[in-house]
């Protein structure tokens, strides 16, 4: 079942993003302050905050129950997602669980095998919205998540859900000025919607290496940018694992954040990882 990638190239590409971040900071260092922060917030800090909230709260906690969060911490993630993405947690969980059930077969809401890589890469948000808006999707795939006061009145409310992003854009404009603030908001939206999210559903089912026999792939350099999500082949092999890392050189920043949060008591339970479960199987 387990096989190593055949060359040194995959570990080497994993070094790309940290080097790229260094180059980006070096090149933009001399820009006037509002524009420097516009680029840093729009391209790095905001998409990363949204990405970590997505992988830890929506994906590993809500969809797969691979860890448990303290209530206040879970609320903090929901609030972050409300401002930075406006995603409804029940819709996200339902669409994602449907994807796991019908991975790359008829019924998968966003498969590059069914719809083509370019369509998923560019139009992933439309495929997601189509599945999310179907009331049957939530009834079938997320019946365990009942809407609470916050869902009904704000985070999942048809109008309230937009107050978060509007407030976020307003805060950026106040902080940086109109043009740098709007550019930061635009860059963040493009990075999250057309870069990070669509790459997991598109690229990570199409290009990269496979350690386990499923149709998803691992892309180590993209894992740096997506809080570990791009170790997607590993994740599809055992979705209930709270860590997506299998090889020693694979970097899952989401998992590192989970371990840090466990250390300070923000996370109360962490399930068994892929590697721990593999060791248990090999001992039997
Ligand atoms: Zn997948
Ligand atoms: Zn999953």
For residue 236, the CA-to-ligand 2 centroid distance in Å is: 7
CA dihedral defined by 118, 120, 123, 127, rounded to 10 degrees?
Answer: 150
Residues surrounding ion ligand 1 at CB below 5 Å? 216
CA-CA distance, 74 to 198, in Å (whole number)?
24
For residue 268, the CA-to-ligand 2 centroid distance in Å is: 21
CA-CA distance, 187 to 198, in Å (whole number)?
15
Of all residues in the chain, the percent with pLDDT exceeding 90 is 79
Residues surrounding ion ligand 2 at CB below 5 Å? 239
Residue 283 reports pLDDT greater than 60: yes
Residue 12 reports pLDDT greater than 70: no
For residue 269, the CA-to-ligand 1 centroid distance in Å is: 24
The pairs formed by 155-163 with CB atoms below 8 angstroms and a separation of 24 or more are 155/78, 155/79, 155/81, 155/82, 155/88, 155/89, 156/88, 156/89, 156/90, 161/82, 161/86, 161/88, 162/86
pTM across the whole model: 0.91
pLDDT at residue 17, as a whole number? 81
Give which of 67, 20, 77, 6 is closest to 224, Cα–Cα: 20
For residue 96, the CA-to-ligand 2 centroid distance in Å is: 6
Alpha carbon of 123 to those of 35, 103, 184, 201: distances in Å? 29, 18, 22, 11
16 falls in which pLDDT band (50, 70, 90)?
confident
For residue 128, the CA-to-ligand 1 centroid distance in Å is: 13
CA-CA distance, 216 to 218, in Å (whole number)?
7
218 in helix, strand or coil?
A: strand
pLDDT at residue 19, as a whole number? 82
Residue 2 reports pLDDT greater than 60: no
For residue 140, the CA-to-ligand 2 centroid distance in Å is: 16
> What is the tens place of the pLDDT at every residue in 211-246?
999 999 999 999 999 999 999 999 999 999 999 999
């Amino acid at each position: 079942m387990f096989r190593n990638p055949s060359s040194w190239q995959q570990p080497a590409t994993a070094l790309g993003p940290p080097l790229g971040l260094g180059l980006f900071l070096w090149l933009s260092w001399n820009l006037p302050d509002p524009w420097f922060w516009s680029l840093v917030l729009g391209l790095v800090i905001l998409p990363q905050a949204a990405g970590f909230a997505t992988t830890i709260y929506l994906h590993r906690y809500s969809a797969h129950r691979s860890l448990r969060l303290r209530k206040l911490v879970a609320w903090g993630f929901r609030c972050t997602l409300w401002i930075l993405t406006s995603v409804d947690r029940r819709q996200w969980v339902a669409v994602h669980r449907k994807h796991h059930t019908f991975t790359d077969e008829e019924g998968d809401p966003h498969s590059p095998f069914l719809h083509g890589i370019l369509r998923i890469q560019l139009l992933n948000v439309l495929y997601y919205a189509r599945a999310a808006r179907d009331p049957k999707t939530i009834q079938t795939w997320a019946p365990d998540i009942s809407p609470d006061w916050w869902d009904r009145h704000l985070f999942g409310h048809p109008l309230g859900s937009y107050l978060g992003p509007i407030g976020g854009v307003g805060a950026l404009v106040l902080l940086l000025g109109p043009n740098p603030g709007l550019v930061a908001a635009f860059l963040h939206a493009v990075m999250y919607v057309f870069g990070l999210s669509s790459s997991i559903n598109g690229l990570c089912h199409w290009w990269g290496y496979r350690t386990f026999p499923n149709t998803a792939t691992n892309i180590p350099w993209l894992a740096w940018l997506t809080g570990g999500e791009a170790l997607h082949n590993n994740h599809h092999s055992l979705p209930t694992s709270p860590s997506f890392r299998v090889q020693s050189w694979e970097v899952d920043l989401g998992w590192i954040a989970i371990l840090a949060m466990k250390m300070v008591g923000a996370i109360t339970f962490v399930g068994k990882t892929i590697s721990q479960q593999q060791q248990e199987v090999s001992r039997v």
